[in-house]
Amino acid sequence: MSTPPLLEIKDLYVHFGVFGGTLKVLDGVNFTVYSGEKVGLVGETGCGKTTTMKSILRILPMPPARITGGEIFFKGEDLLKMRAGELHRVRGRGISMIFQDPTAALNPVFTIGQQLGAVVQYSIEGKRLSRKEIWERAIVPLKEVAMPDPERMLNSYPIQLSGGMRQRVCIAMALVASPELLIADEPGTSLDVTIEDQILRLLHRLVKEKHVSVILITHTLGVVRETTDRVYVMYAGRMVEVAATEDLFSNPLHPYTRGLMDAVPRLTGGGIADGIPGRIPDYLNPPLGCRFHPRCPHAMDICHQEKPPFYKLSDNHEVACFLYRNGGRGTQTP
């Protein structure tokens, strides 16, 4: 791609100071999104997906968390070096985020109108809007997310809404200021499968209508396959593989990615798979070298010692694994 990326994360290191020491959660994350793309981010719970996203908007809880290295460029500017006032321009306007659990993401003691209204008010620089104006502007995104009876919604409290409605409200709030990049952190995970489906379709439609770029975080491979252009696979605080979606599914390279694919239960033959033996590493004392080596069936000596860099196997496919050191085939896919 020759156009400059919309978002570029370079070598991001994030540590959490906890009682027993330091959790070295993010260990050199690299991540790029181009304008107009839908990029998927898959990985199991605890691999650092949400931490990475929260670092972009700098909403990590900063006493325990520390960003110890790296840069995050959004349209050329390093977000990590911005001061509060400048960040304000980006949050909600340039980049917006939808949280994993819509119930936790809404303030329980304020009405939807009050929260949405605040987002509306502060998305406009300099002008103070009247209550009426705020109300009128707030109804618009609610209608866009297909809320029944938006006026009554504004006077409701989150506890009065169903899970699906809460998720829609969160999406509405994220789209108020027409962001260029939308981060969707496992939307619909906490909901019914049918509702999840509705939400994903809604997102799909909105993304198309508004030409936003999307980072879609999920641990459901099927969703990724249907909706994204490119996919990153993340493990234990590092990206291990990135490819165009079709390439990833037809030719998974990293042993972890292969394990993930194999773990998906199939309806036809094969039955229930075994899963990947072992567990995600302890971030207090993460393994040296490649963080996946304790669970990797193809681990070599060098994997214990050095961190694998990304090897580019084609224009659209990179993998961080010593198996592909020489641009080679690695092991044959069975």
Partner 1 sequence: MRLLAFVARRIFQAIFVLLGLSILIFVIARVLPGDPARTALGARAPQWVVDRLREDMHLNDPLHVQYGFWLRDALQGDFGISLVTRRGVADDVIEFFPASIELVLLAGFISGAAGIGLGTLSAWHKDKWVDNVIRIFSYAGVVTPAFVFAILFLLLFGLVLDWLPAIGRLSEGVPRPPTFTGLMTVDALLAGQFATFWDALKHLIMPALALAMGAMAQEARITRATMSDNLTKDYIAAERALGIPERVIMGRFLLKPSLIPTVSIFGLDFAASLSNAFLVELIFNWPGLSRYGVNAMLRKDLNAISAVILILGVTFITVNIAVDLVVRGLDPRIRLSAARSD
State the angle between helix axes of 131-144 and 163-175 in degrees (0 to 180), rounded to the nearest 10. 120
Q: Is 69 helix (H, G, I), strand (E, B) or coil?
A: strand
E-assigned strand segments in the chain? 7-18, 21-33, 38-42, 65-74, 77-78, 95-98, 181-185, 213-218, 230-235, 238-244, 311-314, 317-319
Does residue 273 interact with partner 1 by CB under 8 A?
A: no
Task: Kindly state the tokens that stand for 286.
Answer: 């993460």
What is the x/- site pattern for partner 1, positions 2-41, by CB under 8 A? ----------------------------------------
Q: What HEC string does 219-240 produce?
A: CCHHHHHHHCCEEEEEECCEEE
- DSSP character at residue 180: S
Instruction: Pinpoint the alpha helices (H) of 211-310.
Output: 221-227, 245-250, 255-263, 301-305
Give the Cα separation of 138 and 134 in Å (integer): 6
Does residue 146 interact with partner 1 by CB under 8 A?
A: no
| Of residues 177-216, those binding partner 1 (CB under 8 A) | 177
Closest CB 181 distance from partner 1, rounded Å: 12
In the complex with partner 1, the residue whose CB is nearer, 109 or 272, is: 109
Does residue 176 interact with partner 1 by CB under 8 A?
A: yes
Closest CB 21 distance from partner 1, rounded Å: 18
Residues in Cβ contact with 71 at an 8 Å cutoff, skipping those fewer than 6 apart: 8, 9, 10, 11, 12, 78, 80, 81
Q: Is 305 helix (H, G, I), strand (E, B) or coil?
A: helix
Closest CB 334 distance from partner 1, rounded Å: 42
| Of residues 50-109, those binding partner 1 (CB under 8 A) | 54, 57, 59, 61, 63, 84, 88, 91-93, 96-97, 99, 101, 104-109
Does residue 163 interact with partner 1 by CB under 8 A?
A: yes
Does residue 173 interact with partner 1 by CB under 8 A?
A: yes
Closest CB 79 distance from partner 1, rounded Å: 12
Residue from the set 157, 190, 251, 310 that interacts with partner 1 by CB under 8 A:
157
Closest CB 170 distance from partner 1, rounded Å: 7
Name the segment binding partner 1 (CB under 8 A); options: 134-142, 160-168, 254-262, 283-291.
160-168
In the complex with partner 1, the residue whose CB is nearer, 122 or 310, is: 122
Vertex 156 angle, CA 152 and 162, to 5°: 100
In the complex with partner 1, the residue whose CB is nearer, 62 or 272, is: 62
Does residue 135 interact with partner 1 by CB under 8 A?
A: no
Find, among 193, 207, 135, the residue nearest to 164 by Cα: 193
E-assigned strand segments in 19-134? 21-33, 38-42, 65-74, 77-78, 95-98
Residues that bind partner 1 (CB under 8 A): 54, 57, 59, 61, 63, 84, 88, 91-93, 96-97, 99, 101, 104-110, 115, 118-119, 122-123, 157, 159-163, 170, 173-174, 176-177
